[in-house]
Structure 1
Amino acid sequence: MTTFSSLGVAKDFQKALKENTIITPTDIQIKAIPLLLKQKTDFIGLAQTGTGKTAAFGLPILQNIDPTKNEIQALILSPTRELVQQINKQLFRFTKYATTKIFSEELYGGVKIDVQIERLKRPTHFIVATPGRLVDLIERGALDLTKINTIVLDEADEMLSMGFKQDLNRILNYTNGTRNTWLFSATMPEGIQRIINTYMSPNAHRVSVDVDTLVNKNITHQYAVVNGKEKYDNLVSFLEQNPNGRGIIFCKTKAGVQNLTEYLKEDEFSVGGLEGDMGQRDRDKVMRAFKNESRQILVATDVAARGIDVKDLAFVIHYQLPEQLEYYTHRSGRTARAGKKGISLALVTATELGRLREIERDLDIRAQQVSF
């Protein structure tokens, strides 16, 4: 049996992993950790969210840092504030038994930039950041990235679909030199391929896990053909048939989220809404309630749901089909994590059936028709 010890992970980190009940390495960890620990290499990992990517890149980063040098040695980029916080928190836990303290900073928007500039004057060995805020700090000359050995692009496809293409190009140009680039992505759209071709070595190691299909094989894909008011009635029927299940309902627009959340509240469902116009405080409040299970259902737009990592979701509902194929992958990938099973249900009108068939064909999945 493969263990973290056999992968080359140091004893200090093994102890912290055990304490966090991370005992058996996942596929991506088995394939990535020995490579990233031993070799100075560019790396491309194709893996879904929830497959253990943070430890796959995080443990080699922590083990390769020289804590005696007071300089930023690694940079991890992630699309949202929530993901930045999650990654930094997890890596901090891994360092609990490290013999010499490893210091990090998390950088994202919504916090006064002056406060972050002050914090960066403290010893910092690695940074976890959103691309937009990092560019702001680079332009102000607030941090020195000339000594970094490694840059990680986590959820690279999400960063592109959120409009960070220009920021990523600027950061990759700014840090160009001897650093290695490790790119992790659930999908490989054209924009990601361009980044690989432009900024990464042609000899970069490529690893794929759980990509028999682009969407996790533990997900049961379903659809119901609905018209007009039937759509809401079908949604209610599904929720009533799954009274203990937690899940996310996706809408395409902010107005759609607001309206649907109100309707479900009126029908006394335990629900919260998440959309782009919300302030950070309101967003945090909704997310806290959903994570601690005082809210059972979340209604969200694709952009607002970026960075959500909630365990044990039983279902995802496409109240409206997404415009982009990648969005369907990201939505569906919120359920059936860590070996569990889940349902991805699309409520489609007769005119949307053609679009659903395209999604099935492109992702090599087959959705079962259901009725309520």
Structure 2
Amino acid sequence: MNTTKKHTKPAAAPRGGNPDRRQVKKKKESTLDPKLFVKKAQPSGQEGFRTEKSFDGLGLSSKLLQNILAKGYQTLTNIQEQSILPLLDGRDMMAISKTGSGKTAAFLIPIIEHALKDPRNFTALVVTPTRELALQIEEEFKSLTFGMQLYSATFIGGTNINSDHTKLERKLQVIVGTPGRLLDLSDRKVLDLRKVNTLVLDEFDRMLDMGFVLDVNKLVNRIGKREQTLLFSATLEPAQKKLIDGLLTNPIEVKVTSGSSTNENIEQQTIRVPEGQDKFEVLADLFRNPELEKVILFTETKRLADRLAKKLIQSGISAGQIHGDKSQNFRNRMIDEFKNGTIRVLVATDVAARGIDVADVSHVINYQLPMTMDAYIHRIGRTGRAGKVGHAITFVN
């Protein structure tokens, strides 16, 4: 592992005013061309998703390799093949790869190897934009480190901060969290960010936008010098290049996808609601098709998410909802019920677009148009994962 300390240059916050004010003034109507949401799937299958390279050839520790194989990972995915060895060498990295392509394991496997070499003095901080994504990253870490005496914890809003104090009494090799809670713990002097060796910004395009960049800048300043910085996402915003350059030193750039295209494994179509016809009736009629087995239904507003979930249940379709006004316990329960099939439809705002990693989501339905193409890419990326074919349906006016 490269032990040379570096990265004294923090990410600079863009000018332009209060990020919360910008969110309030968000456009009510999407200006995206509906033609963007129509595309035939060109499935590559597992063959295009995974390479022929085995994990055996990476020189990993025997216990980590055993845990990888126990998870059913036989060969590397494309992003893993291009990322793991440079990260093991201690390089900085910006990596772009579509959702469901194995990005989390691509950065966790090298982190685990580094932690094993010096567990007392190694700390990786993984920062995410959503609570759900943070929880899933820690779940992946725990499965990969089973029986290895490496420890992690997740720090997110909506949970009891006093219990966070207890978690931090133990030496943690991996800390996962959302920016607000991490800064709160740092302000309380219970989380010492100066001890962080490796910084990961997952879904970095979201982390560096106006809603998060001020908090990310504070975190970077408090960490100061560090050995390695990793930026991972499915999309890339060209306007963020200056911010990215300020975070990375002599980085490796990995682009398995262009960062602006949708997953080729997703069949994309639109539905126009005839004038005078009830939009919900059109939606409910879709669920007569048993192929809509496990569906995420996206809306732009929390109020509509609640209303649609209630109407679906009244129509005999099992449904639940998650959005920012729901408690973390409620959100966790809804995702668990969606995973185990208790509910067929999960109605969500964009809080879930980057936070849900559920196997075999058959369809994503956009009941309302997303405001940006990046939002669309992340929404529909909940289906068609791990080389499987998925379906995306978008309602348009």
Q: TM-score, normalised by structure 1?
A: 0.87
1:314 is the counterpart of 2:362: yes
The separation in 2 between residues aligned to 1:177 and 1:191, in whole angstroms, is: 25
Match of 1:56 in 2: 106
Instruction: Give the 3-state SS of the residue equivalent to 2:207 in structure 1.
Output: helix
Match of 1:23 in 2: 74
1:144 is the counterpart of 2:192: yes
Could you tell me whether the CA contact under 8 Å between 2:94 and 2:232 is conserved in 1? Answer: yes
Instruction: Give the 3-state SS of the residue equivalent to 2:350 in structure 1.
Output: coil
1:176 is the counterpart of 2:176: no
The separation in 1 between residues aligned to 2:159 and 2:330, in whole angstroms, is: 15
The separation in 1 between residues aligned to 2:167 and 2:310, in whole angstroms, is: 41
Could you tell me whether the CA contact under 8 Å between 1:250 and 1:320 is conserved in 2? Answer: yes
Could you tell me whether the CA contact under 8 Å between 2:119 and 2:150 is conserved in 1? Answer: no
Deviations 1:264-306 (A, max 9, x none): 1221111112232222232222222111111011111113554
1:290 is the counterpart of 2:341: no
> Which among 283, 307, 312 is matched to residue 259 of structure 1?
307
Match of 1:187 in 2: 235
1:32 is the counterpart of 2:83: yes
Match of 1:214 in 2: 261
Q: Following TM superposition, by how much is the alpha carbon of 1:228 offset from its aligned partner in structure 2, in angstroms?
A: 4.5
Relative contact order (alpha carbons < 8 A, sep ≥ 6): 1 or 2 greater? 2
The aligned amino acid for 1:18 is L
1:81 is the counterpart of 2:131: yes
Which ranges of 4 or more aligned residues in structure 1 deviate by more than 4 Å?
66-69
The separation in 1 between residues aligned to 2:302 and 2:266, in whole angstroms, is: 27
Could you tell me whether the CA contact under 8 Å between 1:15 and 1:97 is conserved in 2? Answer: no
Deviations 1:288-329 (A, max 9, x none): 211111101111111355411111011111111011221111
Deviations 1:60-88 (A, max 9, x none): 00101156553452111122222222211
Structure 1: runs of 5+ lacking an equivalent: 350-372
Instruction: Give the 3-state SS of the residue equivalent to 1:268 in structure 2.
Output: coil
CA RMSD of aligned residues (A): 2.0
The separation in 1 between residues aligned to 2:284 and 2:122, in whole angstroms, is: 51
The separation in 2 between residues aligned to 1:212 and 1:280, in whole angstroms, is: 30
Aligned residues: 345
Deviations 1:152-179 (A, max 9, x none): 1111123345822111111112212143
The separation in 1 between residues aligned to 2:171 and 2:88, in whole angstroms, is: 24
Same amino acid, percent of matched pairs = 38
1:41 is the counterpart of 2:88: no
Q: TM-score, normalised by structure 2?
A: 0.81
The separation in 2 between residues aligned to 1:266 and 1:184, in whole angstroms, is: 41
Could you tell me whether the CA contact under 8 Å between 2:235 and 2:260 is conserved in 1? Answer: no
Q: Following TM superposition, by how much is the alpha carbon of 1:97 offset from its aligned partner in structure 2, in angstroms?
A: 4.5
The separation in 1 between residues aligned to 2:394 and 2:271, in whole angstroms, is: 6
Could you tell me whether the CA contact under 8 Å between 1:160 and 1:191 is conserved in 2? Answer: no
The separation in 1 between residues aligned to 2:229 and 2:93, in whole angstroms, is: 6
Structure 2: runs of 5+ lacking an equivalent: 1-51
The separation in 2 between residues aligned to 1:230 and 1:339, in whole angstroms, is: 36
1:3 is the counterpart of 2:83: no
1:12 is the counterpart of 2:60: no
The separation in 1 between residues aligned to 2:192 and 2:323, in whole angstroms, is: 35
The separation in 2 between residues aligned to 1:146 and 1:220, in whole angstroms, is: 46
